[in-house]
Amino acid sequence: MSTQPRLDTASAGEIQVSGDLTLHTVSGLIVDGQKAIRSAQGELVINLADVSRFSSAGVALLLNWLRTAEAANVAGTIKHPPTDLPAIQEVCDLNAVFQPVLSDTLQPE
């Protein structure tokens, strides 16, 4: 059973994402995340500490948000990335995309 994801504004400049980020759940977060990014004042932290399940669809969501941030001239940082992210970014050859924005040490070698 999936846990529906949720996006909350934790504080100015930080959004907290919780629940499952999978194929069946991420679409509901796209627009809310884009709005939070566009309203950020130059910097935004995406805190994923409370994400329970994570798949390549979660990676696609993060890529969407990173593109939105770039277009809005917002520096995005991903805090507490899920443990599955390094393996997915390695397989998809996305290390160069994610390494600059990850704040924690969960990075493939």
- At residue 57 the predicted structure's pLDDT band, cuts being 50, 70 and 90, is very high
Its pTM surpasses 0.75: yes
Half-sphere exposure of 57 (CA within 13 A, CB side): 15
Query: How many Å apart are CA 38 and CA 21, to the nearest integer?
Result: 21
Summarize the confidence of residues 73-99 as an average pLDDT: 93
Distance from CA of residue 108 to its chain's centroid? Answer: 17
State residue 104's pLDDT score: 61
Residue 45 near residue 15, CB atoms below 8 Å:
yes
State residue 1's pLDDT score: 59
Q: Worst-scoring range by mean pLDDT, 2-16, 67-81, 87-101?
A: 2-16
State residue 74's pLDDT score: 95
